[in-house]
Amino acid sequence: MSDATPSGEWSRSADARRQYNLVGGIILAVAALGLFVWSFWVNNPVPLPVRSSIIIFFAVGIAISAGLLRVQNPQDVYGGMALILLSLTALVASNDLPGMRGFAFGPGTAPRLFAFLLAILSLGVVVVGFLKRGPDITGYKIQGVVFIIGSILAFAACIRPLGLVIASFATVVICAAAAEDGKWRETLIVAIVITIFCSFLFPYGLNLPFQLWPRFW
Amino acid sequence: MHDLIANLWLGMSVAFTFTNVSLCLIGALVGTLIGVLPGIGSLATIAMLLPITFGLPPVGALIMLAGIYYGAQYGGSTTSILVNIPGESSSVVTCLDGHEMAKQGRAGPALAIAAIGSFFAGCVATVLVAALGAPLTAMALLFGPAEYFSLMVLGLIFAVVLAKGSVLKALTMILTGLLLSMIGSDLETGAERMTWGVPELSDGIGFVVVGMGMFGFGEILRNLESPGSREIINTKVTGLMPTLPDLKASAGAIGRGTVIGSLLGILPGGGAIIASFAAYTLEKKVSKNPLRFGRGAIEGVAAPEAANNAAAQTSFIPLLTLGIPPNPVMALMVGAMTIHGIVPGPQVMTKQPELFWGMIASMWLGNLMLIVINLPLVGMWVRLLRVPYRHLFPMIVIFCCIGVYSLNNAPFDVSLTAIFGVVGYWLVKHDFEPAPMILGFVLGPLMEENLRRAMLIARGDATVFLTRPISGTLLAIAFVMLALAVLPSLRAKREEVFTE
């Protein structure tokens, strides 16, 4: 599944890595800060261990960005930190749910149990990432992410008010912009073909309740 | 024995009606069509095609889905052989010798032997599913909540052990899946859990949303990163039929592959991938001339193809008898069954025998279809592979969008899928496997329910999981598996298998 080089060699220069950690650490710290502030907004007081974990998380983030902690395996460190953040968020979010009543589970018991276990295991991943050298995270393809995600969101936004024809045409055109070797004329032809195909297949061929055109009339 | 034949007869009589045969045919055809497109595995294929089964009666819908499943699987091996791109993880091994054969101008025999091997394995596995169905269902009656919980723990541990990469990271993925599955209303009290007041989340996150996001959109994002060179075999595919020596050479390989695949497929936790690897390794070991492997040995195609098809089929056993999906694809089947008002589990067999046996018979029928439709259509699949990726992925995206939207007619679901697409991409970037997470996500609610019940029955005594014999044994196996996977000596061996 992974494209990472198994050799564990770092592919970035020392400067680039420092910058990556600077930004990455700040993102982690800011997210922790946001979670901390939010933990005062929820109804029940969040227990002290959770709050102090958030503070420690914040400190680790700062330490990473300042270069005090040497990130040996960025994949493990950032991956594990993100999962810890997820479990802390879950602990805060499930805080107001009632827990055990006698020996019966409450609605909050299982989520907190899973979140707690996730935090412990993710901590293991992070610690390993600080100790054992591993490959750098290869660069993200921003163009792909922006246009693909944009096209999906466009579909979600258009399908109700504008109908299937416009939604699918818009989605295909936006989506095609994600490719580097795209040509406009080709894209338009493909989009028209796909749109016609979809507007016949789903409402007529499969009898699914799709509205084809905008609801003006 | 007599029962078995009577039951299979019932199944055949259901499966061989005109509508069901044509549904099976359409399913296998469309499944192959989508499966051939590089970069879409069987999970995304089934998720994408789920809406086309909505209008059908339950039996027909399941028969068609099963057809799609085998079709997608077979389509995956076609791309492995012709383009050297595994359509999905279970056909990675087929690339090694299959593509080599294609380069030598023997793409036809390679495709044919893959189909023949799959068909043979499918026949054996069908009988196996039919034979094991009844006794396992009887065993399911011995299972209480504690046993179900332990069985699911075992399944998740298997998924970790059989996945490649770090055991620790796979465990975190499972817990992430479990945690995400907790979002939504609590089953017993109806309390809203971690929904942030979003009404659309009170029903929980749909499995298709997560699966499609992580495996459909996530894959596209990853494929865009490395368009890569697709070297399609340019020589015409001629001489489909394998020669007599070919058949002789692969007969044993198909037999061994079928046995390995059937055994590993029953295990929960994604047996199909490990089955194909194991079958390939075994062939190499028993071969008189191991050096031929990787240079176009026909056994290297026959064995893994037989194994992964057998495993794909026997993985229906835990689903149909215990109601526990052993892998993400089966989890999707659970979703499909639920849409049609069927609760998978031991009661399906007693309450709806025509559904259970009809589906089993259709498995065999689906394999037969594949061999009939695929060999003549190889030329068409090759042409399809020449369509550039920049035209393919918009099509995949729009189909996925329509598929997800049509489940609930909810635009919110579509947006959520986009988010999971990014999550999937991010996970792969950080070397986390999405498959264990999906499995955790599916089993989450079931596990919680059984854990709660078991604890309630035992009056809060957590040792019940260890003191009840079946449950204790299952947990002990899980523990041993995990311990073995973490032990350094075995870990080295495991990596060796995956790097081959």
Q: Is B196 exposed, middle or buried (0-12, 13-18, 19+ CB in 10 A)?
A: exposed
Same domain, A127 and A153: no
* Residue A57 domain-assigned (yes or no): yes
- Taking each helix axis from N to C end, the angle separating A142-176 and B389-408, rounded to the nearest 10 degrees, works out to 80
Beta bridge partners of B75: none
Please give the pLDDT value at position B176.
93
Residue B326 and residue B274: Cα distance in Å, rounded? 14
Q: What is the per-residue pLDDT across B394-421, written as a single tens digit (0 to 9) for each?
A: 888 888 888 888 777 888 888 999 999 8
Q: With an 8 Å Cβ cutoff, are B395 and A202 in contact?
A: no
**Residue A155 or residue B248, greater confidence:** A155
- Residue B175 near residue A114 (C-beta atoms within 8 A): yes
Burial A121-149 (b: 16+ CB within 10 A, else e): bbbbbbebbbeeebbbbbeebeebbebbb
The CA radius of gyration of chain B, in Å to the nearest whole number, is 22
Neighbours of B190 (CB within 10 A): 9
**Domain boundaries defined on chain B:** 2-499
Residue of B nearest to A156 (CA): B411
Same domain, A22 and A54: yes
Q: Does B292 touch chain A (CB under 8 A)?
A: no
Q: What is the per-residue pLDDT across A179-217, written as a single tens digit (0 to 9) for each?
A: 777 678 888 888 888 888 888 877 776 667 777 777 765
Q: Which of B85, B90, B111, B94 is nearest to B42 (CA)?
A: B90
> How high is the ipTM of this complex?
0.87
Return the amino acid letter for B346: P
Contacts of B221 by beta carbon, 8 Å cutoff, 6+ apart: A141, A144, A145, A148, B421, B422, B424, B425
Please give the pLDDT value at position A4.
42
Residue B424 and residue B490: Cα distance in Å, rounded? 29
* Among candidate residues A107, A131, A155, the one where a domain is terminated: A131
Q: Which band of pLDDT confidence, cut at 50, 70 and 90, is reported for residue A119?
A: very high
Helix (H, G, I), strand (E, B) or coil at A19: helix
For the cut 90, the answer to whether the pLDDT of residue A117 exceeds it is yes
For the cut 70, the answer to whether the pLDDT of residue B89 exceeds it is no
Return the amino acid letter for B121: A
- Residue B454 near residue B144 (C-beta atoms within 8 A): yes
* Average pLDDT over every residue of B48-71: 81
* Among candidate residues A90, A110, A131, the one where a domain is terminated: A131
Same domain, A116 and A26: yes
Among A113-122, A128-137, A202-211, B192-201, whose mean pLDDT is lowest?
A: A202-211
Residue of A nearest to B89 (CA): A1
- Taking each helix axis from N to C end, the angle separating B58-83 and B328-339, rounded to the nearest 10 degrees, works out to 150
* Average pLDDT over every residue of A121-130: 89
Residues of A in contact with B395 (CB under 8 A): 172, 190, 194
Q: What is the per-residue pLDDT across B42-51, written as a single tens digit (0 to 9) for each?
A: 777 787 777 7
Residue of A nearest to B52 (CA): A206
**Residue B408 or residue B497, greater confidence:** B408
Q: With an 8 Å Cβ cutoff, are B390 and A182 in contact?
A: yes
Please give the pLDDT value at position B87.
62
Q: Which band of pLDDT confidence, cut at 50, 70 and 90, is reported for residue A2?
A: very low
Q: Is B297 left (phi over 0), alpha (psi -120 to 50) or beta?
A: beta
Neighbours of A211 (CB within 10 A): 15
Which domain covers residue A76, as residue numbers?
14-131
Please give the pLDDT value at position B227.
59
Please give the pLDDT value at position B39.
62
Residues of A in contact with B429 (CB under 8 A): 75, 137-138, 140
* Residue A3 domain-assigned (yes or no): no
* Residue A110 domain-assigned (yes or no): yes
From the list A118, A149, A202, the residue facing B402 with the nearest CB is: A202
Residues of A in contact with B217 (CB under 8 A): 148-149, 152
For the cut 80, the answer to whether the pLDDT of residue B161 exceeds it is no
Closest CA of chain A from B133, distance in Å: 33
* Average pLDDT over every residue of B75-82: 78
* Average pLDDT over every residue of A93-104: 78
Please give the pLDDT value at position B500.
46
**Residue B426 or residue B76, greater confidence:** B426
Percent of chain A with pLDDT strictly greater than 90 = 8
Please give the pLDDT value at position B195.
78
Please give the pLDDT value at position B315.
82
Work out the mean pLDDT of chain B and round it to a whole number. 79
Same domain, A20 and A125: yes
* Average pLDDT over every residue of B369-385: 75
Please give the pLDDT value at position B381.
74
Same domain, A21 and A127: yes
Question: What are residue A104's phi and psi, to 5 degrees?
Answer: -95, 140
Residue of A nearest to B216 (CA): A148
Please give the pLDDT value at position A83.
92
Closest CA of chain B from A5, distance in Å: 11
C-alpha pair distances (Å), A110 with each of B260, B423, B428, B444, B471: 37, 23, 27, 10, 20
* Average pLDDT over every residue of B60-89: 78
Q: Which of A65-69, A99-103, A144-148, B487-491 has the highest mean pLDDT?
A: A144-148
Q: With an 8 Å Cβ cutoff, are A179 and B389 in contact?
A: yes
* Residue A98 domain-assigned (yes or no): yes
Closest CA of chain A from B419, distance in Å: 8
Work out the mean pLDDT of chain A and round it to a whole number. 82
- Residue B241 near residue B109 (C-beta atoms within 8 A): yes
Structural tokens at position B346: 């031991």
* Residue A137 domain-assigned (yes or no): no
From the list A80, A93, A104, the residue facing B456 with the nearest CB is: A104
Closest CA of chain B from A13, distance in Å: 19
Q: Which band of pLDDT confidence, cut at 50, 70 and 90, is reported for residue B228?
A: low
Locus of tokens 């005594």: B461
Same domain, A122 and A152: no
Residue of B nearest to A198 (CA): B399
For the cut 50, the answer to whether the pLDDT of residue A1 exceeds it is no
Q: With an 8 Å Cβ cutoff, are B172 and A176 in contact?
A: no
C-alpha pair distances (Å), B198 with each of B184, B195, B205, B412: 10, 6, 12, 10
Please give the pLDDT value at position A123.
92
Q: Does B459 touch chain A (CB under 8 A)?
A: yes
Residue B461 and residue B456: Cα distance in Å, rounded? 8
Residue B62 and residue B358: Cα distance in Å, rounded? 9
* Average pLDDT over every residue of B423-452: 85
Indicate the DSSP class of residue A204.
Answer: I
Structural tokens at position B316: 């229906």
**Residue B53 or residue B172, greater confidence:** B172
Cα B327 to the center of its chain, rounded Å: 6
Same domain, A99 and A148: no
Same domain, A34 and A123: yes
Q: Which of A75-84, B15-24, B327-336, B441-450 has the highest mean pLDDT?
A: A75-84
For the cut 70, the answer to whether the pLDDT of residue A110 exceeds it is yes
* CA distance from start to end of chain A: 50
Same domain, A108 and A51: yes
Q: With an 8 Å Cβ cutoff, are A149 and B196 in contact?
A: no
Same domain, A94 and A170: no
Please give the pLDDT value at position A3.
40
- Number of folded domains in chain A? 2
Q: Which long-range contacts (CB under 8 A, 24 or more apart) does A196-205 make?
A: A198/A164, A198/A168, A198/B398, A198/B399, A198/B402, A199/A164, A199/A165, A199/A168, A202/A164, A202/B51, A202/B402, A202/B406, A203/A164
Please give the pLDDT value at position B152.
83
Same domain, A23 and A109: yes
Q: What is the per-residue pLDDT across B292-304, written as a single tens digit (0 to 9) for each?
A: 777 777 888 888 8
Residue B326 and residue B152: Cα distance in Å, rounded? 9
